[in-house]
């Protein structure tokens, strides 16, 4: 039924080991033999059995992608598909496969990652999130398995790619200040997420440099990163407070905020937010600048870093790679 390396060998008049070497394009096989064997492979429509290959070679040529616990916010945010696009793109250049983690509970997620890792299904992992005290990440660190985290985890000792969240938020805040804003608020979200904290720090720094006061009560952090949160927050706030500028850590929240500003005719309020990709140039809207975080590039770089780590590992070297991806101010 299935054609194997043995069938090819027979037809080509060589040993199975030779066919195997042709398959991996070994330099120790003559061009002549390679050509002949390859022709036979074509003829017989041979495709190698990857399971056998992986078992024998102990190499999976596959990257495991670790998704966070499922939430509306994660799956509705363009970050995820955009990063994934960069990942598939980069993985395919080296002919690496991609495997998704699954599991609906923390336990099942961990179990599945263990099965991927210890079960020799993947050569390395990319985490599509960065929470502190994540049991899965802790486990991976403890066994020192090749992994790259998207984001900046609190304690180092691992490889990561991220934007410079501090600088990006600071710069954006400066834009609003230059635009005339004097009473600014920071609309965050889950303060356990590192990027929320970092962007807040950038926000503060900009205020300070501009000699504007910072009040903790102007930080709003109990949001689930969905548009409705931004909308509701504005509903509650707009009359009570008279902010003239808002730095919004999450793009979906910003969507809700802007909707509310429209509905309540607060056209003078400026906003600044962060997006995964450059939205099409809408009618010039100088009151709503944002940073394009270039999440696709983030995905590409994560893969590249993983490749580098894998190579380092093969060479016995151990170091941690941490890379910053440039963001672009759009105003």
The footprint of DNA (CB under 7 A) covers: 2, 4-6, 13-18, 20-21, 23-24, 27-33, 46, 48-49, 52-53, 55-59
> Is 100 near a second copy (CB under 8 A)?
yes
> Is 256 near a second copy (CB under 8 A)?
yes
Element of type H or E holding 273 = strand 270-275
What single-letter DSSP state applies at residue 326?
Answer: P
Would you tell me how many other CB atoms lie within 10 Å of the CB of residue 259?
A: 15
Distance, CA of 325 to CA of 246 (rounded, Å):
24
Give the residue carrying structure tokens 């991927």: 116
Bridge partner residues of 292 (DSSP):
275, 328
> Is 254 near a second copy (CB under 8 A)?
no
Find the shortest distance in angstroms from Cβ 115 to DNA.
12
Cβ distance to a second copy smaller for residue 59 or 208? 59
Find the shortest distance in angstroms from Cβ 22 to DNA.
8
Binding mask 220-249 for a second copy (x = CB under 8 A): ------xxx--x------------------
> Is 91 near a second copy (CB under 8 A)?
yes
CB distance 298 to 253 below 8 Å: no
Nearest to 231 by CA among 179, 266, 283: 266
> Is 81 near a second copy (CB under 8 A)?
yes
Cα diameter, the chain: 85
Identify the residue among 157, 282, 315, 317 touching a second copy (CB under 8 A): 282
Nearest to 126 by CA among 148, 145, 141, 99: 148
> Is 4 near a second copy (CB under 8 A)?
no
Identify the residue among 49, 69, 144, 178 touching a second copy (CB under 8 A): 49
> Is 280 near a second copy (CB under 8 A)?
yes
Identify the residue among 14, 41, 80, 193 touching a second copy (CB under 8 A): 80
Bridge partner residues of 150 (DSSP):
161
């Amino acid at each position: 039924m299935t054609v194997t390396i043995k069938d090819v060998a027979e037809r080509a008049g060589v040993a199975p080991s030779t066919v195997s070497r042709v398959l991996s394009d070994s330099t120790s096989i003559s061009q002549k033999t390679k050509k002949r064997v390859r022709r036979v492979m074509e003829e017989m429509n041979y495709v190698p059995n990857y399971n056998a290959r992986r078992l024998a070679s102990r190499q999976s040529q596959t990257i495991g992608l670790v998704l966070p616990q499922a939430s509306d916010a994660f799956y509705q945010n363009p970050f995820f598909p955009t990063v994934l696009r960069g990942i598939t793109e980069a993985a395919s250049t080296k002919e690496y496969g991609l495997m998704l983690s699954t599991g609906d509970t923390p336990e099942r997620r961990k179990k599945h990652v263990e099965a991927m890792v210890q079960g020799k299904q993947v050569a390395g992992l990319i985490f599509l999130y960065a929470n502190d005290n994540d049991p899965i990440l802790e486990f991976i660190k403890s066994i020192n398995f090749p992994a790259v985290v998207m984001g900046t985890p609190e304690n180092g000792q691992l490889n990561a790619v991220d934007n410079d969240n501090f600088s990006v938020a600071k710069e954006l805040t400066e834009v609003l200040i230059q635009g005339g804003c004097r009473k600014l608020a920071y609309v965050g979200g889950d303060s356990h997420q590192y990027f929320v904290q970092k962007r807040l720090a950038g926000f503060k720094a900009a205020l300070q440099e501009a000699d504007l006061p910072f009040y903790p009560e102007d930080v709003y952090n109990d949001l689930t990163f969905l548009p409705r949160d931004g909308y509701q927050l504005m509903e509650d706030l707009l009359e009570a407070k008279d902010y003239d500028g808002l730095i919004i850590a999450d793009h979906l929240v910003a969507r809700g905020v802007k909707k509310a500003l429209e509905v309540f005719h607060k056209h003078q309020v400026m906003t600044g937010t962060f997006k995964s990709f450059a939205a099409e140039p809408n009618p010039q809207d100088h009151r709503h600048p944002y940073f394009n975080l270039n999440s696709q590039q983030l995905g590409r770089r994560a893969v590249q870093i993983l490749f580098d780590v894998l190579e380092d590992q093969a060479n016995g070297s151990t170091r941690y790679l941490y890379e910053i991806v440039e963001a672009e101010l759009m105003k």
